[in-house]
Amino acid sequence: MTEHEPGYKTRTARQSAGPSETGDVNLGLLGGYIGYHLRLAQNASFRAFQSKSGRADLRPGWFAVLNLIGDNPGITPIALSRAAGRDKSTLTPILRDLTEYDYVVSKPRPGDRRSYGLSLTELGRERLGELAAHAKAHDRVLDEIAGKQKEDFIRILKRIAEELA
Amino acid sequence: MTEHEPGYKTRTARQSAGPSETGDVNLGLLGGYIGYHLRLAQNASFRAFQSKSGRADLRPGWFAVLNLIGDNPGITPIALSRAAGRDKSTLTPILRDLTEYDYVVSKPRPGDRRSYGLSLTELGRERLGELAAHAKAHDRVLDEIAGKQKEDFIRILKRIAEELA
DNA sequence: AGGCAATTGTTTGCCTCCAAACTATCTTAT
DNA sequence: ATAAGATAGTTTGGAGGCAAACAATTGCCT
């Protein structure tokens, strides 16, 4: 898309004209849509968290998974995927990495040879601790923003996730 | 609210038919994190919207872009990327597609040969209308969930996006 | 038993996105 | 005027995600 006619070569210009300026973009109907703001907020939150935990073995995507395994020893990948809100196929490489790093171990499930149960290793508990420190600091900022409406705020988020499932 | 026994529940999957069943997974600390619920809600909202507008030329990612161009004729890609909360490089292929579909045209900007201004075609306005119908129906559900707290809810989302930028 | 449907986890293919590197152009300083 | 820096847009590379297709196993039904 670099095919614009030579056109004019006015040099006066001053970026005076309009709506292309940074701040004064007209959002129109968009400004009233919950979905739009939801995406911007989630995006900002994710980036902020990601930028803090820079290590290769402390990826933000691992936090929820480690947390859930820690709180539910013996959990299966499928239960994990539902709780973490991720597709089961998304979990496969994550669990492979977590196992390679020795943060997680899987044991066969008596009574069902298709599946296996997951639990944290001691090392995994350590890493979870580090991630939790990041997460806590991160969520403290969000808590401040939400203020005393935090409970209401989370309640609405929960209902959105439930009712649109 | 989120305080359950961390015990080892060696339950062997009774797993009734309910697919919406989140299951008896213990969320632990995760249940109190705003970031976690934010991601789940955004994810659910996005999927729900996507599943409704199934056409190839009505992708959900286009909605915000078409809307912003429509409300800000002559806007540049960079201003657009900021308003839409996407990286400028993300916009390049989107704008290429929108131009190929003849929903958008770009005109050279007098005074700056690096850039160009975007605006909708008549066809683009039509498609925007269709997308807007979907979006309105979608957001009506979200509005219902938020109820009379919608304004507060959006305010918090906005602040999250701003302060974590 | 035997057969058929459902479930588990993996593989494969595709899409969206960001960040860094790059080119072209504009601006500012000297 | 020229050099140095800032800015606009594109390209490239990699991460992360979903969904459909698949194999293995389990459960159900007759």
Place of tokens 């605006």: B119
Q: How far is CA A101 from the centre of its chain?
A: 21
pLDDT in tens, chain A (165 residues): 333 433 333 333 333 333 333 368 999 999 999 999 999 999 999 988 888 776 777 787 899 999 999 999 999 999 999 999 999 999 999 999 999 999 999 999 999 999 999 999 999 999 999 889 888 888 899 999 999 999 999 999 999 999 887
A24 touches chain B (CB under 8 A): no
Instruction: Say which of A7, A38, A164 has its CB closest to residue B157.
Output: A38
Indicate the burial class of A137 (C-beta count within 10 angstroms; 0-12, 13-18, 19 or more).
exposed
Chain D positions with an atom below 7 A of a protein C-beta are: 7-13, 15-21, 24-27
Tokens read off for A11: 């040099």
Residues 6+ apart with CB under 8 A from B7: none
CA of B72 to C1' of D8 (A): 18
The answer to whether the beta carbons of residues A114 and A132 sit under 8 Å apart is: no
The answer to whether the beta carbons of residues A91 and A80 sit under 8 Å apart is: yes
Cα dist from A99 to A57, A67, B163, whole Å: 12, 15, 36
Q: What is the pLDDT of residue B60?
A: 72
Per residue in B63-77, pLDDT (tens digit) is: 999 999 999 999 999
Q: Do B35 and A163 touch (CB under 8 A)?
A: no
Per residue in B6-64, pLDDT (tens digit) is: 322 323 233 332 333 456 899 999 999 999 999 999 999 998 888 777 666 677 788 99
Question: How far is Cα A21 from Cα A120, in angstroms, rounded to an integer?
Answer: 51
A87 touches chain B (CB under 8 A): no
Q: Do B85 and A33 touch (CB under 8 A)?
A: no
Per residue in B73-90, pLDDT (tens digit) is: 999 999 999 999 999 999
Helices B150-163 and A34-52, packing angle to 10 deg? 30
Q: How far is CA B111 from the centre of its chain?
A: 34
Q: What is the pLDDT of residue B23?
A: 62
A108 touches strand D (CB under 7 A): no
Can you tell me the mean pLDDT for B148-162? 95
Q: What is the pLDDT of residue A116?
A: 97
pTM of the model: 0.84
The 8-class DSSP code of residue A21 comes to S
The A residues from 107 to 136 touching B (CB cutoff 8 Å) are: 109, 111-112, 132, 135
